[in-house]
């Protein structure tokens, strides 16, 4: 039986403990002292074992993008993010032509149905756009912004093989109410995004079924004392989970602290929102047909607009600990349990517990460097 021997592991309900972890059939079969007859996965003495990270919002990595609409692109992303300790992610689309979105969703369907064991798991799709506000496109191409449509959404769900997990949209746009209600009825997370929504718009959207805020602070109405907008609503409403790009570029350390101070601990979710330039050297890249310049860890359009990130998930966790001052345990929850709960898969992944999937990130406890990543009991990355 495969397993880890005498490791410092972050175990659900117990915190960090020295223990053995046995793996059988891709699942955690035992967490106990002195489990016998283990075929050991060797772990450095300076390592910690934490649940595999879950990135619910990532567009691409290593030169590939979910909008490339190919199984190879998804495979390249899956293998790249495994080196960050990520064991599962949502392939995130963007505002584009209906044909390009269809191709991207169809590729995800094909990839998931192939049951690929290499790299991180493609859990499903985060559909970011095209149902956004034309006044808050950010790095999304304006020409493809579309009116919210339940009928169009049904087609997108079908193309994906039923694998759409999150839809980011602007709740103030005409047609949003019907779409949000449809998403709620079908178990899909509706997320506030690329929007000029006011407090009342957010309040209404929550009543319709909205439960998430996409990359909090970015491409949305800010906090103002006469109308608190999306940012203020994100802080006020317990119903809303908040995604955060903790690269200290999209969001400053004090802004992260403000969210953490005002939200319940299970409502903060680390994301990378990374684009294809991640894991590549600085230089020119591309996002949705737009030229992106990557320099010193920042990805921007030619006009200076931030265009996603090149953030790695293990570095997001590191930033939350070292620059924001949160505990390691809290940072881990933000990258594991919280996204799993948001996606309704916490019964299977998101923590180290007997019966759950053997998904682990093995990190250097001092540098946060990923030493190995394990999914389904199989090593998918080793330094």
Q: How many CA atoms lie within 13 A of 304 on its CB side?
A: 0
Residue tagged active-site, from 20, 65, 247, 273: 273
Other beta carbons within 10 angstroms of residue 25's beta carbon come to 11
Full strand arrangement of the beta sheet holding 164-169: 53-58, 86-92, 121-128, 164-169, 189-192, 210-213, 241-245, 268-271
Q: Confirm whether 273 is a catalytic residue.
A: yes
Distance of CA 382 to the CA centre of its chain: 22
C-alpha–C-alpha distance, residues 72 and 183, integer Å: 29
Hey, what's the torsion of the CAs at 70, 81, 337, 345, to 10 degrees? 20
Q: Is 153 exposed, middle or buried (0-12, 13-18, 19+ CB in 10 A)?
A: buried
Tokens of 146: 């579309």
C-alpha–C-alpha distance, residues 123 and 57, integer Å: 11
Residues involved in catalysis: 273
């Amino acid at each position: 039986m495969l397993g880890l021997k005498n490791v410092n592991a972050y175990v659900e309900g117990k915190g960090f403990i020295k223990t053995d972890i046995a793996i059988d059939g891709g699942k955690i079969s035992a967490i106990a002292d002195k489990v016998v007859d283990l075929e050991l996965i060797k772990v450095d003495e300076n390592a910690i074992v934490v649940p595999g990270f879950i990135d619910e919002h990532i567009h691409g990595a290593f030169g590939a993008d979910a909008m490339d609409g190919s199984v190879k692109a998804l495979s390249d992303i899956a293998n790249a993010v495994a080196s960050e300790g990520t064991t599962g992610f949502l392939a995130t689309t963007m505002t584009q032509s209906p044909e390009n979105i269809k191709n991207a969703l169809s590729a995800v369907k094909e990839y998931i149905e192939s049951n690929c064991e290499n790299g991180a798991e493609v859990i499903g799709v985060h559909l970011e756009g095209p149902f956004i506000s034309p006044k808050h496109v950010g790095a999304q191409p304006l020409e493809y912004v579309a009116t919210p449509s339940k009928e169009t959404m049904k087609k997108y769900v079908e193309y994906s093989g039923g694998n759409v997990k999150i839809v980011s949209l602007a709740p103030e746009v005409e047609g949003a109410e019907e779409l949000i209600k449809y998403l709620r009825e079908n178990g899909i997370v509706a997320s506030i995004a690329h929007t000029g929504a006011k407090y009342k718009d957010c309040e209404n959207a929550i009543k319709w079924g909205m439960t998430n805020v996409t990359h909090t602070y970015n491409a949305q109405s800010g906090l103002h004392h006469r109308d608190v907008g999306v940012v203020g609503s994100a802080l006020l409403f317990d119903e809303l989970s908040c995604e955060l790009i903790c690269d200290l570029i999209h969001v400053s350390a004090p802004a992260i602290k403000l969210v953490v101070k005002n939200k319940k601990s299970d409502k903060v979710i680390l994301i990378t929102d990374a684009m294809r330039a991640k894991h590549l050297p600085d230089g020119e890249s591309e996002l949705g047909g737009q030229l992106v310049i990557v320099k010193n860890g920042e990805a921007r359009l030619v006009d200076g607009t931030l265009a996603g990130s090149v953030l790695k998930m293990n570095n997001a966790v590191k930033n939350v600990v070292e620059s924001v001052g949160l505990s390691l345990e809290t940072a881990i929850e933000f990258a594991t349990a919280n996204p799993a709960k948001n996606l309704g898969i916490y019964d299977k992944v998101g923590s180290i517990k007997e019966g759950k999937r053997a998904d682990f990130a093995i990190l250097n406890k001092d540098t946060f460097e990923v030493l190995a990543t394990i999914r389904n009991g199989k090593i998918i990355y080793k330094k």
